[in-house]
Each structure stands twice: as structure tokens, then as C-alpha cells.
Homo-oligomer: A and B are copies of this chain.
Amino acid sequence: MLLLIIDLLGTFAFALSGGLVAVRKQLDLFGVSVLALTTGMGGGFLRDVLIDATPPAALTNWRYLAVAILAGLLTFAFHPTLGRMERAINLLDAAGLALFCVTGTIKAMDYGLGPVPSALMGMVTGIGGGMIRDLLAGRVPIVFRGDLYAFPALAGASIVAVLNYADQPVWLAAALGGSLCLVWRVVALHRNWQAPMPTGSSSV
């Protein structure tokens, strides 16, 4: 029950960020709804299609659909207010990232993948929604452009995969992996840390 509430909160935070990007790109009501939906549920969706857990859970559980669409409609109606709450939304988003990279890794291992691909699937679950959002909105995914977002997700997912592979209890793996991802991401936000860029180019 607690897990479901946290999961829905993460979906909600992701969906808000998708809706805000859509509003900034001047998309219409449908575009705002689709970006909210794909950002909130796209990571899990991508993972489920890749590991062949179809039909994806996202399609068969109406709660996620409802939460994501609600976030889209709220963004459509109240985007000036939500745009000013960016710090709070970023924190919720970091919590969603931590949660999704943990649950994504565990689900991939349950489907029989080894620890390395499972950690990658955990990262995909965390960052996939935002990548789909950016592609649909016609911009290069921000996760590629210096924003320190993927490495915390990959680190958290790797911890979960390794501990799980070493037969440690799931709660321990989830707590350690999730905390690492969350703390790293929040500190990166706070201090504006950037991912390394190739020599000769400057962060945009």
C-alpha cells in the first residue's frame, strides 16, 4: 500500500514535468496530456516492452493512467503556478527517479535477466520517460546534455542488482540503491553538478 502510494507520487511528479515541457513548447491540450502520460509511464513502459512483460502493467492498471492524466490536466490549467514550484517538483522527481530505478531493476531480475542488463533496465525505467518526453517535444534529451541525471540512476540500479545477485534481502538492496540515487541526485541539483563533457566542447 505504501509502495503503491510512493509509486503513484513518482508517476505524478514525472507527469508534471512532462506537462510543463509541453506547455513551454506551446502544445495543445492533447499534447500536454500525452507528454504527461508518456513522461509518467514511459520508463516502465519501455522496460516492459524490452523485457517482454507485455501487455505493459501501465496499460492494465487504471490508477497510473488516472494519476498521469490528472497531472497533465492540472498542468494545462495551472501551469503558471506550477512553473514557480520548480524546486518542489524537482525533489519529487528525484524521489521518483530513485524509486523507479529500484523497482525497474527488481522487475528485470524477476524476469530472469542477469545483473548487468537488469541494472541497465533499472536506469531505463528511471530516465526513459523523460527521454520520450524530450523526443516528442522535439529536443535532444536533456539527460544527454550535461544534466547529472543518468549516473545516479545507474549507480542506484547497480547497487540493487549486485546486492540482489548476492542474495541479500530485497529491502536492503532497495534501501541502499534508492538512497544513493536520491542523495546523489538531490546534491547534484543543489550544487548544479554537471556530467563530464568531451574535451573541446562546453556544456550548453
Contact = CB atoms under 8 A, between A and B. Distances in A.
B140 A137 contact: yes
Contacts of A55: 50-52, 111-113, 117
Contacts of A22: 144
Interface string A181-204: 000000000000011111111111
A71 to B, nearest CB: 14
Contacts of A136: 135, 140-141, 144
A130 to B, nearest CB: 12
B49 A198 contact: no
Given A51-B54, A200-B80, A150 B26 contact: no
Contacts of A23: 198, 201
A194 B30 CA distance: 11
A196 B33 CA distance: 12
A65 interface: yes
A138 B140 contact: yes
Contacts of A80: 199-200
A177 interface: no
A196 B29 contact: yes
A120 to B, nearest CB: 8
Nearest 7 A/B pairs, CB to CB: A31-B144, A52-B54, A28-B195, A138-B140, A26-B201, A59-B117, A29-B196
Interface of A: 22-23, 25-32, 34-35, 49-52, 54-56, 59-60, 62, 65, 76, 79-80, 111-114, 116-117, 120-121, 135-141, 143-146, 150-151, 194-204
10 contacts: A25-B140, A28-B198, A31-B141, A34-B150, A50-B55, A51-B59, A52-B54, A52-B55, A80-B200, A138-B140
